[in-house]
Structure 1
Amino acid sequence: MIARLVPGVVATAWRHDDTEPVSLFPEETAVVARAVTKRRREFATVRLCARRALRDLGLPPTPLTPGPRGEPRWPRGVAGSMTHCAGYRAAALARTVDVVSIGIDAEPAEALPEGVFEGVTLPEERRHLATLADRTPELPWGRLLFSAKESVFKTWYPLTGRGLEFEEATLEFTRDSATDPHTGTFRAGLSVPGPVVDGTRRDHFTGRWLVREGLVLTAIVLTRDGPR
């Protein structure tokens, strides 16, 4: 499903579970040596996805260890993002000649835990989501906003090396059409100075979203000619 949200220059791979055997590099094994079994399996499967995407880009497998904020450290010349949640693991990668940064996120298509919604939304976002919920009440708009902000952070951090608080990006969603209200686009306006890419400051990111098969998926692909 993630392939539906990104342009053709982005290679993607996904799995619904952790049943496929995965051989980790020693450096990767060391990262999760003390983790619980569930964490080790998710870690391995999402790296399997990433290596499949690397292969599709014509690149060899390589250790993918996390950086200071848990972000994957990609080979030189590659931009990418990984995500995992219950029932889904995915990776999306592209060459940096085409893409500056990528952020993807998957979440279960259900309401956020109690108390989380107020902590991740701004007043104007809550009003916006209330309007959307009146029109399409079956969609988990709070979870969709949370996922989109995760994708914003994953796009932002490799370009800045700095954190981004939930209140520093304001989200607005659009549905593709009345006949398919489960897909659409979103815009994330930044209230802090955005990254400078090829001499141009980016003050917002745009992305796509999809709700299918019990999952919420969001993706941002920041290209050199502007956000997509």
Structure 2
Amino acid sequence: MIDRLLPRYVASAATREEDAPAGTLFPEEEALVATSVAKRRHEFAAARACARTAMAAFGLPPAPVLRGHRGMPLWPTGFVGSMTHCDGYRAAALARAEDLRGLGVDAEPNAPLPSGVWEIVSLPSERERLLSHDELAGRRTGTEPAGSGTVHWDRLLFSAKESVFKTWFPLTRIELDFAEADIVFHRTSASATEGTLTASLLRTAPGIPPVLKGRWLVHDGIAATAVTLPA
């Protein structure tokens, strides 16, 4: 599903938890999760298996994907990319730096955020906009609509902010707080579970435009977002 959010020149790969192979890690990668619990090791390996599938689409040989500051993936020279993992879904995306300066993807379970998190990750302007959606308003009052078309906008907002951070941080090495990006979602129709998003940055950095753009999709229990910054 992540491929539906990305331009054609971006290579991506994804897998669901139930059919995800453990994946083979390079020794350098093994060292990064040597003390982690089994669930974390599985997520780590599955995401990197997806990354190597994306790399192969560009003719790149299998190589370790190590971590920089704040867990930032370190990609082969001349490429930008992003990885994500959550319960039930792992994915990676990769593009040539000549096509994209920045790329961020994120996937989350399409379920309400834990109590108290909504207020932490959202701006007043975002809360006002999103509470106007029937699904979120219904959930807040205990009358959430039934059916697979439900979009948990609070969780989707969290995902979008993660995608913005993953795009921003490798280019700036500057922390970006949840309150420093104002997200607006656009739906393709009144009942759609996919569309576009814009992120107005409330913090500036040299060479970074004030607005980043991306896409979102809710499908089969997963809320996914992707943000791209053209070269």
TM-score by length of structure 1 reads 0.92
Partner of 1:111: 112
Which blocks of at least 5 consecutive residues in structure 1 are unaligned?
none
The alpha-carbon deviation at position 71 of structure 1 amounts to: 1.1
Residue by residue over 1:195-223, the C-alpha shift from the partner in whole angstroms, topping out at 9 and shown as x without a partner, is 40xxxx41110110000000000001111
The alpha-carbon deviation at position 58 of structure 1 amounts to: 1.3
Partner of 1:217: 224
CA 1:97–1:110: 2 relative to 1, 3 Å: same
CA distance in 2, matches of 1:176, 1:215: 18
Kept in 2: contact 1:208–1:219 (CA 8 A): yes
Partner of 1:3: 3
CA distance in 2, matches of 1:76, 1:14: 23
Which residue type is aligned with residue 2 of structure 1? Answer: I
Which residue type is aligned with residue 143 of structure 1? Answer: R
Partner of 1:68: 69
The alpha-carbon deviation at position 61 of structure 1 amounts to: 1.2
Partner of 2:200: 189
The alpha-carbon deviation at position 194 of structure 1 amounts to: 3.7
CA 1:135–1:167: 2 relative to 1, 3 Å: closer
* Number of residue equivalences: 219
The alpha-carbon deviation at position 40 of structure 1 amounts to: 0.5
Residue by residue over 1:144-190, the C-alpha shift from the partner in whole angstroms, topping out at 9 and shown as x without a partner, is 10000000000000100111000000011110123x51001111001
Percent same amino acid among aligned pairs? 52
- Give 4+ residue runs of structure 1 displaced > 3 Å after superposition: 133-137
CA distance in 2, matches of 1:68, 1:157: 9
Kept in 2: contact 1:175–1:181 (CA 8 A): yes
CA distance in 1, matches of 2:57, 2:173: 28
Partner of 1:50: 51
The alpha-carbon deviation at position 21 of structure 1 amounts to: 4.1
Which blocks of at least 5 consecutive residues in structure 2 are unaligned?
139-149
Counterpart mapping for 1:1-228 below 5 A: 1-17=1-17, 19-133=20-134, 138-178=150-190, 180-196=191-207, 201-224=208-231
CA 1:152–1:19: 2 relative to 1, 3 Å: closer
Structure 1, 62-71 or 4-13: larger mean CA deviation = 62-71
CA distance in 1, matches of 2:20, 2:153: 31
CA distance in 1, matches of 2:196, 2:55: 27
CA RMSD of aligned residues (A): 1.5
